[in-house]
A and B are shown apart, each in its own frame.
Chain A
Amino acid sequence: MSLTSLFKPKAVALAPTAAAPPGRGALRALLRDGPAVLGLVLVGLLVLMAALGPLIAPFPDQGAGAANVADRNLAPSLTHLLGTDAMGRDILSRILYGARPALLVSVGVVGLAVLVGVPLGLVAGFRGGRLDEAIMRVSDMFLAFPPLLLAMVIVSLLGPSLWNAAIALVVSWWPWYARLVRGLAVSLRERPFVEGARTLGLRDVTIMRRHILPNCSSPILVQATTDIGTVLLAAGSLAFIGLGAQPPTPDWGLMVAEGRTYVFSQWWMSAFPGAAIFLAVLGFNLLGDGLRDALDPREVGR
């Protein structure tokens, strides 16, 4: 697997789920699935850290970025459970402070990509014709580049910051949703229930919103869940190479970068934030896979 393919959204099943609305059956299926439950726990932990991090951090001022040179390079101990970094900041506090921006950026990026990509994909797939061609060719242009590479180019143009990294990631992610939803809309367009909606004399917008979109919601949800993890990793990677969050932001990718020169002597500086990224990505991936299985109409015995 090439490095760039790591940062591509994983392709999810293209079959539209013209099936029953996901209800308790889907939830039960999810909770019976061991890996999915682990994913749910990891994501739940991340959300808790994001919500409560600043309140439960042992050294709040250091978490926010204040240096504490006297205690620098300390190994993990009872006072500093995960050790301190080269500027003497408590790594546990930094990780707790870092959860909120990590989660907000990845959820925000995926949310915006969905908001842009889904309507475009719906219109392209449902209307077809030249509009479809135009939208799809534009999205192909973006899809031709690996998302992380494209994001790097955009950040280089805008200047490195967490905000610009987020904007760059939205720009490189929306076409995946446009393409996903277009495929779903094309296959739903000819279904009798959509033709029936047409004979009612409904407007196209109403048909798309009421009859097409709800039947695309499961694949979108699955893709978005997995992508939150992928974007979190991509945002961390941008920070790692200096194109994302800037010091002294408590960003996990940035922390890995800051600790990398000490990795053989003070391994904890990079290892713990790296583990935080790893567990967060793992959580969203497992949850996404679990949702795909649980929402698959063929799997749900209803």
Chain B
Amino acid sequence: MILSVTGLVKTFGSVRAVDGVDLSVAAGETYAVVGESGSGKTTLARCVLGLIRPTSGSVLVEGDDTATMRPGDLRLLRRRVQIVFQNPHASLNPRMTVERLVAEPMRLRTGSKGAALRDEVVADLDRLGLGPAHLSRYPHELSGGQLQRVALARALALRPRLLVLDEPTSALDVSVQAQILNLLADLRTHDGPAYLLISHDLAVVRHLADRVGVMYRGRLVEEAPADRLFAEPAHDYTRRLLDSVPGRGRESMETAHGVEP
């Protein structure tokens, strides 16, 4: 298992944002966590990334427990898990060029410098469909789709074992969303990382996911292979989620607010 989450609880004051979640992601697998806003899926992702400490429960990355690690080791462990955020305009340092943005993690992995480092950056960007003309650009000079490719290049430069995708397409123009989704699907075939996809967009989930966990009020209420979940949802809440979407699972399900399971 690349990722094993056991009995994860995270409370903020009296709010139990994540309330006893168990899930695991195998190598090469895409696991989608779906749920409405406030269901705890982003908190779950932040715990997996080690950005916040869980209140209880454990997060194991390739068998190593993040909770018992010393800060220095935790820093290195984090490099095995990377993230692509929802809004690439906010997730890339506006004062860095594309080259520097990708070179920063690349150098951590390869230790290269100068021209060799630049070649590695160019090669990775090329794989993601960005030519060398973009190297000297700043984020504000690129489109949302191009920026999300840069964010992907930055995350993949460390060759992580697990890539957390936090609503990776929902801030993008509809015309660009499909390109990024296809890119994500393509990357998975080349010995790439496992994906933990956080989304409320059922079309995205259907396109990418192998298995789906449905999150509601901090708990995973249903977990099933993607085909089965869409074909025959077992849990009442899941059914309502799917029904709440016009055209059944083709668009957002944010409208399912407040539905009781």
User: Residue A298 at the B interface, CB < 8 A?
Assistant: no
Task: Verify B140–A201 contact, CB threshold 8 A.
Answer: no
Residues 177 to 224 of chain A near chain B (Cβ within 8 Å): 191-193, 195-203, 210-211, 214-215
Stretch at the interface among B22-30, B90-98, B229-237: B90-98
Q: Tell me how far the C-beta of B62 lies from the nearest C-beta in chain A, rounded to whole angstroms.
A: 15
Stretch at the interface among A16-24, A48-56, A94-102, A231-239: A16-24
Identity of the chain B residue whose Cβ is nearest the Cβ of A212 in the assembled complex: B93
Task: Verify B95–A192 contact, CB threshold 8 A.
Answer: no
Specify which of A19, A193, A210 is in contact with B91 (CB 8 Å cutoff). Answer: A193
Task: Verify A192–B85 contact, CB threshold 8 A.
Answer: yes
Task: Verify A195–B75 contact, CB threshold 8 A.
Answer: no
B91: chain A residues at CB < 8 Å are 192-193, 196
A199: chain B residues at CB < 8 Å are 49-51, 78, 81-83
Q: Tell me how far the C-beta of A286 lies from the nearest C-beta in chain B, rounded to whole angstroms.
A: 27
Bound state CA distance, A71 and B49, in angstroms?
79
Bound state CA distance, A302 and B138, in angstroms?
12
Bound state CA distance, A215 and B140, in angstroms?
14
B85: chain A residues at CB < 8 Å are 192, 195-196
Residues 139 to 190 of chain B near chain A (Cβ within 8 Å): 139-140, 151, 154, 158
Task: Verify A200–B51 contact, CB threshold 8 A.
Answer: no
Chain A contact residue count (CB 8 A cutoff) = 21
Specify which of A201, A203, A211, A302 is in contact with B93 (CB 8 Å cutoff). Answer: A211
Contact bitstring B59-93, A, C-beta under 8 A = 1, else 0: 00000000000000001111101110101001111
Bound state CA distance, A197 and B77, in angstroms?
14
Bound state CA distance, A52 and B14, in angstroms?
68
A18: chain B residues at CB < 8 Å are 94
Number of A-B contacts (CB under 8 A): 67
A198: chain B residues at CB < 8 Å are 51, 78
Task: Verify A201–B76 contact, CB threshold 8 A.
Answer: yes
Q: Tell me how far the C-beta of B167 lies from the nearest C-beta in chain A, rounded to whole angstroms.
A: 12
User: Residue B119 at the A interface, CB < 8 A?
Assistant: no
User: Residue B218 at the A interface, CB < 8 A?
Assistant: no
User: Residue B104 at the A interface, CB < 8 A?
Assistant: yes
Interface size bucket, B side?
20 to 34
Q: Tell me how far the C-beta of A242 lies from the nearest C-beta in chain B, rounded to whole angstroms.
A: 46
Identity of the chain A residue whose Cβ is nearest the Cβ of B84 in the assembled complex: A196
A20: chain B residues at CB < 8 Å are 94-95, 138-140
B96: chain A residues at CB < 8 Å are 214
Identity of the chain B residue whose Cβ is nearest the Cβ of A196 in the assembled complex: B91
User: Residue B108 at the A interface, CB < 8 A?
Assistant: yes
B90: chain A residues at CB < 8 Å are 191-193
Task: Verify A19–B94 contact, CB threshold 8 A.
Answer: yes
Residues 36 to 81 of chain A near chain B (Cβ within 8 Å): none
Identity of the chain A residue whose Cβ is nearest the Cβ of B105 in the assembled complex: A200
With A19-B140, A20-B138, A196-B83 in contact, is A201–B78 under 8 Å at CB?
yes
B83: chain A residues at CB < 8 Å are 195-196, 199
Task: Verify B94–A201 contact, CB threshold 8 A.
Answer: no
Identity of the chain A residue whose Cβ is nearest the Cβ of B151 in the assembled complex: A196
B49: chain A residues at CB < 8 Å are 199
A197: chain B residues at CB < 8 Å are 93
Identity of the chain A residue whose Cβ is nearest the Cβ of B88 in the assembled complex: A192
Task: Verify A215–B108 contact, CB threshold 8 A.
Answer: no
Q: Which 5 A-B pairs have the closest CB atoms?
A: A192-B91, A201-B75, A214-B95, A201-B78, A20-B140
Interface residues of B (CB under 8 A from A): 49-51, 75-79, 81-83, 85, 87, 90-96, 104-105, 108, 138-140, 151, 154, 158
- Besides A20-B139, A199-B83, A215-B94, 8 other CB < 8 A contacts? A20-B138, A192-B91, A193-B90, A193-B91, A199-B81, A202-B75, A210-B93, A302-B140
Can you offer 24 A-B residue contacts whose CB atoms are under 8 A? Answer: A18-B94, A19-B140, A21-B138, A192-B91, A193-B94, A195-B85, A196-B83, A196-B91, A196-B92, A197-B93, A198-B78, A199-B49, A199-B51, A199-B81, A199-B82, A201-B76, A201-B108, A202-B75, A202-B104, A210-B104, A211-B93, A214-B96, A215-B93, A302-B140
Interface residues of A (CB under 8 A from B): 18-21, 191-193, 195-203, 210-211, 214-215, 302
